[in-house]
Structure 1
């Protein structure tokens, strides 16, 4: 295809002088290139950590976001050098956007006055084209487009909707409640333009104040300290206000009477405040976005904060649901103790000579079930499990493997220490009117933990044969 180089550049230049934004400049450039050459043309500008396609023509489908360093476009942006590809099928970075059989791709960086890349112009031809002429054309159009974008103030900032989607992704990928609360605070601060954000939610026992993932400024640190020091009643006042009356924001006006619930915030230097309810009234919380400057937030921004709060609560509720499901999957529903699966994982990390396994059996448990029924048997299981758990040290672990069979896993310095804990467990059972038999075994060098458990079981049955209600250390 013959390219009328001077005519195309002249047309693009004329159109660019009328463009009033970076997006419009990109749009008129790619439309002109496609109209004159029939090629697929696209302009990509950086948005945070990727390249966003802001204008394209001549393609059935366009990849809107190119990841850092990916594709020929990413390569041109990273190197600041024009990329010419004549065999796209052999280029590992080529991203197919047009019909099969692309004959030539030229991707030129858009440069500012300092020569730094501020975007890329990508053009692909399906028909055979003079490579040098095509490269010269794309280079000149890219130079004109880069200059115009620079004169218009550079690439446009990230849009609110793009920010919301980015932060929604961060909320969705959070793996813990603290991580999610921090992501919500960061999102509220970034999207509102205010300097501080604090998410307060009910964790089932008390109100928790979330922390940011980034180092807070002096004002945010002060506000967070105040919020953390507030009594539970004061935090609940703010939560109840938000849930009773809905979202609210200050008007940026001074010398007005401040309601009592807000007084601690004002004393901390808050002059601007957006308050948004989070989740349901009985188990949710409140999001506070604040600034020490007197500003009047845009009402649409408050609506956006409501969307963010709803997304944060949805993700928080999902995390809590998953946590409950994991607990149910790994715990015995009757006693709350973990069962066979977690026990197998725990003993795989047993340390020879240091890890002790205590096989525990409730004495005469079958008689209890046969005489008084399974309901009474279940009550005995729960009572004994609670007594044993309370008698263990903080780092010790107790598992229920089935029926009335329990196993405690301890880390000890010598066998006598394990026997002392076993004696403590038998005493705890007696204190609630029951007795237990316990076999104790330390995992030996090169011994599978399962074999150590069998030795503990054998020691337990020795206790049973000798009258029950006691503990015995297994031999090697």
Structure 2
């Protein structure tokens, strides 16, 4: 059937001036086009960092959001140039929405200045003259773009969409500090309040997380007030939030704040949302505040609770991963790093500068045989602490076997390594035990395991010469 494209454009655009919202304009455009085009029709507009589907005809699958530059729609939006695709199977960017689609026309929706706002996409499953439809789509998209801008632009990102976007950033945060910063940034943006502060408890007590970006004036005052109030006040805030749950506080005249919230009131906060984070022991509180006096908004509190839950889940995951990494690289008895970490360290050894000190406890088997393994374990723990204390800052000590240790130290010359080894033997004597030490410095082109073998050989030589001794491997 032959299509009168001028009539299509007229019928599609005649109602656009009556649309009261951008979403309404998009839906009318799609509905009117569908009367003439037996196609899957979609309008996607940029919202934050994605293309969001604002209007569509029925299809097996319509993508709610599309990441930038993804698919033909992302390519068209990024380039600002339309695309005619006679065979979607030949286009690697095609995003399948139904199995029978054969061709696609996608054009950018531009504002009057030529900047892309989104795309108008049409997909067919049968024969069609793509050229005329490409021209029609471009003319319709131009009218749609002008109307959208007249209505104030694409629809704003909802607060729930903001939370979803920030949740992805929390999940991707590589460190606890990065995650705390991301949570504060999310709290500000999702709540639409002026300040956000995260207070977390650790082994040394409650503490303020680092601010995100450049904190505003109110947030800076609140941070200063909480810092001055100190740990006890922060602890009270955490305790209150976990005891009573999330709270919405108004700082109205004539209604003094509770003692723990006085620092926030003194800093100028008039609206406060306080949400517990994590468990009562070891968790914290998320504080979101504003200078404006805003009436209670359950949606804001609910969104902050969701954010706090997601933030704690991610913090707990990072803590678990760090603990597992520590367990994987540390000896459970002495707490020293062990073989895996040692091998990684000596792989970075600098020829002529990094010394390996192979250490063996003299007569350790006798201790185990005479007094039992518990006595042997206590000996190793005490000796490990003594050797660590005798090393310089930056030197590293590893447990590589039952009663075998290796120290990795940076020196300017071999004699310096000998002096450090002698300090270790003296430290061992103060525990009531003796050790033998063999020293080797990596040679140019030498494999790390070969350096360690030379250190071991020097250690055996020290044993042979009477133990409680230091021996330097030949250069």
TM-score (norm 2): 0.95
Q: How does 1:273-422 map to 2 (within 5 A)?
A: 273-422=272-421
In the alignment, which residue of structure 1 is the partner of 2:81?
Answer: 81
What is the alpha-carbon root mean square deviation over aligned residues? 1.9
Summarize deviations over 1:345-391 as a string: whole Å, max 9, x none: 10000000000000011111000000011111111111111111121
Q: For structure 1, which segment, 314-323 or 128-137, has the greater mean C-alpha deviation from structure 2 after superposition?
A: 128-137
Moved more, 58-67 or 230-239: 58-67
The ranges of structure 1 where at least 4 consecutive aligned residues each deviate by more than 6 angstroms after the TM superposition are none
Measure how far apart 1:108 and its partner are: 1.9
- Which whole-Å CA distance do the structure 2 matches of 1:452 and 1:446 have between them? 10
Partner of 2:180: 181
Stretch moving more, 193-202 or 19-28:
19-28
How far did 1:396 drift? Answer: 0.7
Q: Secondary structure at the match of 2:294?
A: coil
Shift of 1:76: 2.6
- SS of residue in 2 equivalent to 1:154: coil
- How much does 1:297 deviate? 4.5
Q: Distance in 1 between matches of 2:319 and 2:203?
A: 11
Task: String of CA shifts for 1:436-455, please: whole Å, max 9, x gaps.
Answer: 11111111222222112111
Deviations 1:413-459 (A, max 9, x none): 11121112111111111112111111111112222221121111111
Contact 1:438/1:460 (CA < 8 Å) preserved in 2? yes
From the superposition, tell whether residues 14 and 254 of structure 1 become closer, same or farther in structure 2 (CA, over 3 Å).
farther
Q: Distance in 2 between matches of 1:465 and 1:298?
A: 80
Partner Cα distance (2:178, 2:9) in 1: 51
Matched-pair contact (CA < 8 Å) for 2:101–2:123: no
Give CA deviations for 1:155-191 in whole Å, capped at 9, x if unaligned: 1111122111111111111111101111110110010
Matched residue SS, 2:36? helix
Within a 5 Å distance, the mapping from 1:125-164 to structure 2 comes to 125-164=124-163
The question of whether the paired residues in 1 share the 8 Å contact of 2:454 and 2:473 is answered with: yes
Aligned to 2:442: 443
| Contact 2:222–2:263 (8 Å) recurs in 1 | no
1:44 aligns to what SS in structure 2? Answer: strand
Match of 2:12 in 1: 12
SS of the residue 1:402 aligns to: coil
- Unaligned ranges ≥5, structure 2: none
Residues 1:69 and 2:69 are matched in the alignment: yes
Indicate if the aligned counterparts of 1:252 and 1:296 stay in contact, CA closer than 8 A. no
CA contact (8 A) 1:359 1:438 kept: yes
Alignment partners' CA distance in 2, 1:109 and 1:449: 60
3-state SS of paired residue (1:250): strand
Query: 1:158-307, aligned counterparts within 5 Å?
Result: 158-251=157-250, 253-307=252-306
Do the aligned partners of 1:72 and 1:95 also contact (CA within 8 Å) in 2? yes
Tell me, yes or no, if the aligned pair for 1:463 and 1:472 is still in contact at 8 Å: yes
Would the aligned equivalents of 1:410 and 1:418 in 2 still touch at CA under 8 Å?
yes
What whole-Å deviation, never above 9, does each CA across 1:76-123 have from its counterpart, x for those lacking one? 3233333223343443433333334513x2222222233322111111
Aligned length: 475
TM-score by length of 1: 0.95
Using the alignment, how far apart are the partners of 2:407 and 2:384 within structure 1?
A: 11
The question of whether the paired residues in 2 share the 8 Å contact of 1:3 and 1:133 is answered with no
State the 1:62 CA deviation.
2.1
* Distance in structure 2 (CA, Å) of the matches to 1:66 and 1:258: 46
Q: Distance in 2 between the 1:420 and 1:188 partners?
A: 55
Q: CA deviation at 1:68?
A: 1.9
Is 1:358–1:409's contact at 8 Å kept on the other side of the alignment? yes
For the residues of structure 1 that align with 2:68 and 2:122, how far apart are their CA atoms? 19
Asked whether the equivalents of residues 250 and 296 of structure 1 are also in contact (C-alpha less than 8 Å), the reply is no
Equivalent residues in 2 for 1:12-31 (5 A)? 12-31=12-31
Q: CA deviation at 1:410?
A: 0.4
Instruction: Kindly indicate whether the alpha-carbon contact (under 8 Å) linking 2:425 and 2:435 is maintained by their aligned counterparts in 1.
Output: yes
Distance in 1, matches of 2:235 and 2:374, equals 41
Distance of 2:72 and 2:279 partners within structure 1: 49
Hey, what does 1:111 align to over in structure 2?
A: 110
Structure 1 range deviating more: 153-162 or 38-47: 153-162
Query: 1:8 Cα shift?
Result: 2.8
Partners in 2 of 1:100 and 1:393 — Cα distance?
71
2:396/2:408 contact within 8 Å kept: yes
Consecutive unaligned residues of structure 1, counting only runs of 5 or more, are none
Distance in 1, Cα, partners of 2:296 & 2:455: 68
Range moving further from structure 2, 14-23 or 409-418:
14-23
Q: Report the counterpart of residue 3 of structure 1 in structure 2.
A: 3
Q: Is the 8 A contact 1:398 1:406 kept in 2?
A: yes
> Deviations for 1:47-79, whole angstroms, at most 9, x for unmatched residues?
112211222224312233222223332233233
